[in-house]
Amino acid sequence: MGAMIEAKKRLVGVSADEAKDSGVTGQYLTFVLGGEVYALEILHIKEIIQYGDLTEVPMMPSFIRGVINLRGKVVPVVDMTARFGKGITNVARRTSIVIIEMAQEEDDDTEKQSIGIMVDAVNEVVDIANADIEPPPAFGGRIRQDFISGMAKRNGRFIIVLNLAQVLSVEEMSALGSSMLGGTESNANAESENEA
């Protein structure tokens, strides 16, 4: 956790374009989902907690596993395996929840929203040079292409660097939740009409 705080202090004020142009090395938290290694920039990560009891919320998209109480705040928890359309994460000893802080703009106000992401296991914080991050492949990915920010080369292997703004798009997740509710309501209305 201390490494994440120090990296945040060093990288504050450096834009993404400046980082790529100047050859800056970024710090990323790596984690495992379904045997694949993924990475997120640590600037968005607030903390990492051990998987605990979740309160399930009815009629939510399948990738929203529930909510947790984090120091008095309600934090939704997204199952990343389900978000990528690969089933649900099986809870094991190393299953963790990474708390992400996302900026959400509403009416000229920027509000921070905490969202938890459920992962199989957290690995480590690694330094990755921007020169070592390739653009996402244009074909055949196991997850949506817009979810991938790039492919990082490290120790002869690729790490999938996620585009957090797309993966955790509050607007898209809300729309999916609304469409599920709408479908459920219309089904319930149809059933009540059939009974009458």
Q: Cβ(130)–Cβ(19) under 8 Å?
A: yes
Round the average pLDDT of the chain to a whole number and report it: 77
Answer yes or no: is pLDDT of 79 > 50. yes
Q: Cβ(97)–Cβ(77) under 8 Å?
A: yes
Q: How confident is the model over 144-167, as a mean pLDDT?
A: 87
97 compared with 183, residue with greater pLDDT: 97
Query: Looking at residue 191, what is its pLDDT?
Result: 39
Q: How confident is the model over 150-176, as a mean pLDDT?
A: 81
- Domains in the chain: ranges and CATH: 2-195 (2.40.50.180)
Answer yes or no: is pLDDT of 66 > 70. yes
Answer yes or no: is pLDDT of 130 > 70. yes
Query: Looking at residue 11, what is its pLDDT?
Result: 41
Choose the weakest-confidence range: 65-69, 98-102, 153-157, 177-181.
177-181
Helices (H) and strands (E) in the chain, counts: 5, 11
Tens of pLDDT, residues 18-61: 444 446 789 999 999 988 999 999 998 999 999 988 899 888 88
> What's the token pair of residue 99?
């708390």
Q: Which of 165, 163, 161, 168 is nearest to 129 (CA)?
A: 161
